[in-house]
Structure 1
Amino acid sequence: MAATGIPTIPAELAVADEPADILSPEDDPAYRVFLDSLNYLSPEEIDLVRKAYLFGEEAHRGQVRKSGEPYITHPLAVAGAIADWKIDVEGVIAALLHDVMEDTAVGKAEIVEHFGKPVADLVDGLSKLDRIEFQSQEDAQAENFRKMLMAMARDLRVVLIKLADRHHNLQTMAAVRAEKRRRIARETLEIYAPIAGRLGLSTLFNELQDLSFQLIYPMRARVLGRALKAARGNRRELLSRILDGIKGKLGAANIEADVFGREKSLYSIYRKMLDKRLSFSQVLDVYGFRVVVKDVPTTYLALGSLHALYKPVPGKFKDYIAIPKPNGYQSLHTTLIGPHGTPFEVQIRTAAMDKVAQEGIASHWLYKDSESLGDELQQKTTKWFHSLLELQSTAVDSSEFLEHVKVDLFPHEIYVFTPKGKIIPLPRGATAVDLAYAVHTDIGNHSALARINFNLMPLATELTNGDRVDIVTSADAHPTAEWLTHVKTGRARSKIRHYLKTAHVDESTALGEKMLGQELRALGVSAAEVPVARWRSVLRDSGNRLVKEVYTDIGLGFRLAGVVARRLLSKEHATLPAGQETPGASLVIRGSEGMAVQFAPCCQPIPGDPVIGSIWKGKGLVIHTHDCPAIRKARSAKPAKWIDVEWEPEAGQLFSVRVQVVVQNTLGALGRIATEISSSGTNILNVHMDEKDSGLYTTLHFTIQVADRTSLARLMRSLRRIPEVVRISREQGLPAA
């Protein structure tokens, strides 16, 4: 490595050593344009880029793209896009070499030797994994994406090169078969375009979306493109009138500004038509305007002038200067009513903000000496990538990680405040649970209630822009599977799933130990009497490392307790077929085992009910009542699969049960019934009535919590004493949707 930090150029890469029969790259117009775009680099750095091009050209020699062009044209185009963003020399070289490790015999060590370790690390982060390791193409794609994102978190240049690579691939897919074109385009819409948007690369974001749209729906894109072109001509006079009006008003106020007309991208128009079920003629805000001024105070002066010119639409003003978007975007947005009642949007920003709006994190290299722009933007982006590292640490596999990232890629649209005044950006539709996990994992795991604008509200409450939210925690509170149905952020979803899986394993381990102990007692020994040597033999045969893992497998239903018990007692010869172990004593449960023991929703068993259980793989023990109609066929078909279960005398838990009450249609009947239930100390979880009921009687359906069968019977007797109650019964079967 040279003293300047630029690697020394190996003699074998010198231009003078090129074979005479090979055309000089200087004769290629695309290469000359590329070199001209490197004028922001030093001569030494440009010389190194030349050598990198020769290295890549040599490595890819003989390879052609589907279109028939030499393969080197692709890396050259990607490097050209990187140069347009003014990325440093290492990024440009990595773009030129981004495919050599994947598609040629060149290894990482060779790149380190010629161009240094930083370049080699960039190229390695961009290279795909060996797909032989994976069972399906989907698994391979998920793991490739996971590796790429981890490389992005270490170096932001990786994502910029990858996005430029994907952009050029989409531009040159005419020779690719239609099925593959659509698959790559859909992947771009789901992952790569949102990443570009999340990084503030709005120009690239729109182009990736439009290109993907044209590849997936070529006919729709052509029809919409023709309609947009026609509308552009029809509205030219109106747009010119608005543009002249804006310029005249700003000029009269002595505000220096550049005013530009802008047009919605093809895909954004298509999405609006699809989401709001509009025809093209009904999409009125196809066109808008951008006003670029010298400094921040002038943006607000320009806003006031334009509001005096055209009436603003109430509720359509957004101040992204005071509260920037997470990707660093800053601008004032306002929607005005123009001539003939036509609404249009105006964006007002400074020149520096405009650069960030177009190029996002790529503008960091232009503003890297500015503490107010480049550094702050890079910090925000780095923070987001580090959150991805945290997500992948809790994900079970690459597919789950990819799911979390997809959720997190949707744009943040609301801002809420903590009690200390900190602003937390969240996606629209986020709940108090999302905010709790955004603040800290422990707060999320112990959330009990939310105080929203000083009012106590449930955790499932959807937050709105500007809410002040204080999370109330409790040591006894913990996540439930229901939370997953109303969270929006990938972080919250990942943390909840991690907690549930960990809790499930711990509870399943305890259940498995209990089940194995019961089987051993049925065979005449206690668990403590099992020789250590026998445990070692079972662990060796099963592939488990710890006894705890065997318990967990039993509790989760992956192993049968009777089989393990016989193997522990050296009675393999007595082992019966799976699920046909010798019956022993009933398994005693108390109802507080957590997720390892599940109570079937069809019959909702409670203490006092005769119950029976069945082990299901991955679910643990599922409890039904003996007379549950949902299991009659299953019990007769596989009787050995079911085990006898008994309730512990003092369960100490509350259990959900459904009760059906037929009442006379009289004023206040529902209130009297609800009062009677509450006064008995019973909690009402849900109540609804049959919509079809009319006339003299109405059927009410209550879901309540009781301690046992006795307390339920006591409650039902007290309800029968209410004059309006005609009939009351316990419901079985799955509840109505």
Structure 2
Amino acid sequence: MIDVEDLIALVRNYNPRSNADLIRRAYAYGWRMHEGQIRKSGEPYFTHPVAVAAILTEMQLDDATIVTALLHDTIEDTRSTWDEIAGEFSPEVAELVDGVTKLTNLELSSTHSKQAENFRKLFMAMSKDLRVILVKLADRLHNMRTIKSMKPEKQVQKSRETMEIFAPLAGRMGMQWMREELEDLAFRVLNPDARNSIIRRFLMLQRETGDVIHKISGDIRAELDREGIEASVYGRAKKPYSIWRKMQEKDLAFSRLSDIYGFRVICGSVPDCYRILGAIHQRWRAVPTRFKDYISQPKSNGYRSIHTTVSGRDGKQVEVQIRTREMHEVAESGVAAHWSYREGVRGHNPFAVDPAKWISSLTERLDEGDHDEFLENVKLEMYSDQVFCFTPKGDVVQLPRGATPLDFAYAIHTRIGNSTVSAKVDGIRVPLWTRLKNGQSVEIITAEGQRPQSSWIDIVTTGRAKAAIRRSLREEDRGRFVKLGQELARAAFDHVGKRASDKALRTAAKMLGCPDETDLLARIGSAEITARRVVEVLYPELSMGRPEVVDERRPVIGIDEGQLFRRAPCCQPLPGERIVGITYRGKGVVAHAIDCPALAALADQTDRWVDLKWKAGLHAAVNTVSLDLTISNDAGVLGRVCTLIGEQRANISDLRFTDRKPDFFRLVVDVELRDVEHLHMVMTALEADTDVAQISRHRDPSRQP
């Protein structure tokens, strides 16, 4: 374990004005609080906080962050409290320690809905003070370095969580070195055979070709000396996981993988960066489509560098990154460069991004929508690489790789995105689902009255665009859902002899946690809340508890034991409707609706009539009813009709067209329903759609029992 004076020396290497006494007191306090606690490896527990603090010194962080690292487990694992830490050190340190404690308690690999809510809390903690996440990432890195002492199942869980959450987060924050190490440590646990295979092949390649890194580094230095450019050249082999991922993405064998080596050229000025680029391209052939200029178009986390891939010695492709020393500091520390100290003063690196702006860009619009949307948007933002496109006026718009003109439109303004009808890329009209490339000029064409389509959700890739489209669709649907909710509520209240007054609905809204009665009606219409539930909340005395599930083999009262029963196909009666039974030789009892036209022919055969009624309780949604529909012959109408039926928890078992005209379609839809109330919900939902001209029960007298 690093002793306190060695830790102070590490801090003083970059911050001679560091408060050594503060670090000594934090070290002693942490040691005292964790005394007697042992890690899984058998070491004293305090070795872990000290190792976390040492990792943070590599990023040259301030005293408060180093002290937080030493104390980050005290509130969770010892008798220490927030007030005690605030008194002993400072409220700032206490807030940071408390923030890390809350993050530690989040189950980020838990169930989907819980994971979404915990992600929300993670980003809220980041927005308060990003140093909380820096400590947590260092904490995870040390835990992954020492993961072998954990149980195998715990190793797998932590490694998967690291691969899915913490490694991408470190990369998104610009700390690429940490991302690569976290990925490789997790890869070692999750797929050891693949990792060992990569390492064996790599060692074999080195034996065959010799020290390629040394040779290519020497070639680059020779070119720079010839041009009189002063710069440092570093080369390295890519990490096993990085090589494995590239093999999987490109479906290539290791022997066909070319760019497994990377080189960095670090110089003194931006003009030198472009001179170095020219020298390298003059000496080696550049690989088309493998050039990125992040100096003129920086990433949102402050990253700046020129990336180019060339065919180097023996035709091997190598990636070269060119940047200044200040850019390199940001490339190594990412957003953490904002807090870095050098020679006792806070660093003022012109390329370091403001953490407040960075977290704002990452979480923009992610506080809207439901849990699934939030989780989807967070992961989109964390995993995305970038492309840079231009407006017709020359302004730059930064988008994730795979973005479309619709994403571009929403990135400019939500109003422009909502009214988009088409787009031109480099002057040529293209479909809205076209994937944009670096450097393209995009012109968005809008039209008044245009509204987002539900299909746009599958076209866009950015969280901002998805959230805006969903919000617009919800607003558009809201009026329809409110109208439908009014009908459903009226029917449910009538069923128990009550009236769905504004006061009653207001009271029910309050009891069910809805803002107002309009929101309650919208939720009823969208099937989020059933009208029956509203009645039960207001009038519990009318509710006899949860109804029993009815046996669908004998759903009626009035038939003898062992007697066969079925619904008449001509009228398709539903539970809740008045019915009468007719006996058929060899077929048992067939239930007809009381108004079925087929009964007229049986009026004089009273000996065949059986008094039937449906059993009270919950009927399964297996009663098929045919509906006659007349709908507009327009794009998307049939799909919307099917969606409306599905939203009412009803299943379509068959669909057939009976007439096709230029302006309308007539069709029969077979729907599986629970009871007559369920039928009423479906028909009301369809009637509320402006493109449904007519709807009625389909009765077919020719279909006799």
Question: Could you tell me the TM-score, scaled by structure 2's length?
Answer: 0.75
1:376-426 CA-partner distances (Å, limit 9, x unpaired): 5323x43231134433420323x5423311111123231111233221221
Which residue is equivalent to 1:606? 631
> In the alignment, is the contact (CA less than 8 A) between 2:652 and 2:671 conserved in 1?
no
Letter in 1 for 2:283: L
> In the alignment, is the contact (CA less than 8 A) between 2:650 and 2:672 conserved in 1?
no
Which residue is equivalent to 2:451? 478
SS of the residue corresponding to residue 489 of structure 2 reads helix
Verify: 1:555 aligned to 2:555, yes or no: no
2:424 to 434, 451, 454: 451
Name the CA shift for 1:373/1:308 in 2 (closer, same or farther; >3 Å).
farther
Name the CA shift for 1:122/1:561 in 2 (closer, same or farther; >3 Å).
closer
Letter in 2 for 1:377: A
Verify: 1:462 aligned to 2:438, yes or no: no
Segments of structure 2 that go 5 or more residues without pairing to the other structure are 549-573, 579-624, 658-666, 696-705
1:292-441 map, 5 Å: 292-366=266-340, 374=349, 376-379=351-354, 381-397=355-371, 400-441=373-414
Name the CA shift for 1:630/1:95 in 2 (closer, same or farther; >3 Å).
farther
Cα distance between partner residues in 2 of 1:136 and 1:372: 39
Residue 342 of structure 1: CA displacement?
A: 2.0
Name the CA shift for 1:487/1:627 in 2 (closer, same or farther; >3 Å).
closer
SS of the residue corresponding to residue 304 of structure 2 reads coil
Residue 460 of structure 1: CA displacement?
A: 2.5
> In the alignment, is the contact (CA less than 8 A) between 1:446 and 1:478 conserved in 2?
yes
Verify: 1:230 aligned to 2:204, yes or no: yes
Name the CA shift for 1:207/1:382 in 2 (closer, same or farther; >3 Å).
same
Letter in 1 for 2:353: Q
Which range moved further: 220-229 or 536-545? Answer: 536-545
Which range moved further: 280-289 or 566-575? Answer: 566-575
Which residue is equivalent to 2:6? 33
Verify: 1:262 aligned to 2:236, yes or no: yes
Residue 121 of structure 1: CA displacement?
A: 1.6
Letter in 2 for 1:231: L
Which residue is equivalent to 2:554? none
Residue 306 of structure 1: CA displacement?
A: 2.2
Which range moved further: 114-123 or 518-527? Answer: 518-527
Name the CA shift for 1:544/1:51 in 2 (closer, same or farther; >3 Å).
same
Which range moved further: 363-372 or 93-102? Answer: 363-372
2:163 to 189, 194, 201: 189
Name the CA shift for 1:51/1:43 in 2 (closer, same or farther; >3 Å).
farther
SS of the residue corresponding to residue 85 of structure 1 reads coil
Segments of structure 1 that go 5 or more residues without pairing to the other structure are 1-27, 584-599, 656-706, 710-737
Which residue is equivalent to 2:680? 643
Cα distance between partner residues in 1 of 2:642 and 2:441: 47
1:97 to 58, 71, 75: 71
1:634 to 672, 675, 680: 672
Cα distance between partner residues in 2 of 1:365 and 1:80: 16
Which residue is equivalent to 1:50? 24
Name the CA shift for 1:513/1:654 in 2 (closer, same or farther; >3 Å).
closer
> In the alignment, is the contact (CA less than 8 A) between 1:365 and 1:374 conserved in 2?
no
Which residue is equivalent to 1:116? 90
1:62 to 33, 36, 40: 36
1:509-556 CA-partner distances (Å, limit 9, x unpaired): 2211133346678999986xx594x55775677666643344234312
Question: Could you tell me the TM-score, scaled by structure 1's length?
Answer: 0.72
Residue 567 of structure 1: CA displacement?
A: 9.6
Which range moved further: 490-499 or 611-620? Answer: 611-620
Residue 618 of structure 1: CA displacement?
A: 5.4
Name the CA shift for 1:275/1:373 in 2 (closer, same or farther; >3 Å).
farther
1:512 to 470, 482, 485: 485
Cα distance between partner residues in 1 of 2:419 and 2:10: 55
SS of the residue corresponding to residue 317 of structure 1 reads strand
Letter in 1 for 2:100: L
Verify: 1:209 aligned to 2:183, yes or no: yes
1:559-614 CA-partner distances (Å, limit 9, x unpaired): 5557867998999499997996679xxxxxxxxxxxxxxxx9x99851699x9999
1:272 to 215, 229, 246: 246
Letter in 2 for 1:641: H
> In the alignment, is the contact (CA less than 8 A) between 2:62 and 2:341 conserved in 1?
no
> In the alignment, is the contact (CA less than 8 A) between 2:363 and 2:378 conserved in 1?
no
Cα distance between partner residues in 2 of 1:567 and 1:193: 47
Name the CA shift for 1:129/1:412 in 2 (closer, same or farther; >3 Å).
closer
> In the alignment, is the contact (CA less than 8 A) between 2:174 and 2:301 conserved in 1?
yes
Name the CA shift for 1:449/1:570 in 2 (closer, same or farther; >3 Å).
same
Cα distance between partner residues in 2 of 1:348 and 1:612: 57
Residue 86 of structure 1: CA displacement?
A: 1.3
RMSD value, Cα: 4.3
> In the alignment, is the contact (CA less than 8 A) between 1:614 and 1:642 conserved in 2?
no
Cα distance between partner residues in 2 of 1:362 and 1:648: 54
SS of the residue corresponding to residue 148 of structure 2 reads coil
> In the alignment, is the contact (CA less than 8 A) between 2:109 and 2:161 conserved in 1?
no
> In the alignment, is the contact (CA less than 8 A) between 2:34 and 2:46 conserved in 1?
yes
Residue 136 of structure 1: CA displacement?
A: 6.0
Letter in 1 for 2:434: T
Residue 176 of structure 1: CA displacement?
A: 1.0
> In the alignment, is the contact (CA less than 8 A) between 2:630 and 2:694 conserved in 1?
no
SS of the residue corresponding to residue 200 of structure 1 reads coil
Residue 103 of structure 1: CA displacement?
A: 1.9
Verify: 1:156 aligned to 2:130, yes or no: yes
Name the CA shift for 1:41/1:344 in 2 (closer, same or farther; >3 Å).
closer
Letter in 2 for 1:447: T
Letter in 1 for 2:452: P
Cα distance between partner residues in 2 of 1:570 and 1:359: 61
Task: Report the number of matched residues.
Answer: 608
Cα distance between partner residues in 2 of 1:213 and 1:45: 39
1:450-471 CA-partner distances (Å, limit 9, x unpaired): 2333344443332222122233
Cα distance between partner residues in 2 of 1:559 and 1:248: 73
Letter in 2 for 1:95: A
Name the CA shift for 1:58/1:506 in 2 (closer, same or farther; >3 Å).
farther
> In the alignment, is the contact (CA less than 8 A) between 1:433 and 1:459 conserved in 2?
yes
Cα distance between partner residues in 2 of 1:364 and 1:131: 27
Name the CA shift for 1:421/1:531 in 2 (closer, same or farther; >3 Å).
closer
Residue 170 of structure 1: CA displacement?
A: 0.4
Which residue is equivalent to 1:247? 221
SS of the residue corresponding to residue 352 of structure 2 reads helix
Name the CA shift for 1:372/1:188 in 2 (closer, same or farther; >3 Å).
same
1:559-638 map, 5 Å: 561=531, 572=542, 606=631, 619=648, 632=670, 634-635=672-673, 638=675
Name the CA shift for 1:111/1:141 in 2 (closer, same or farther; >3 Å).
farther
Which range moved further: 349-358 or 68-77? Answer: 349-358
Letter in 2 for 1:451: K
Name the CA shift for 1:525/1:638 in 2 (closer, same or farther; >3 Å).
closer
Cα distance between partner residues in 2 of 1:489 and 1:310: 37
Name the CA shift for 1:418/1:459 in 2 (closer, same or farther; >3 Å).
same
Letter in 1 for 2:472: Y
Cα distance between partner residues in 2 of 1:337 and 1:641: 68
Residue 431 of structure 1: CA displacement?
A: 0.9
Name the CA shift for 1:575/1:112 in 2 (closer, same or farther; >3 Å).
closer
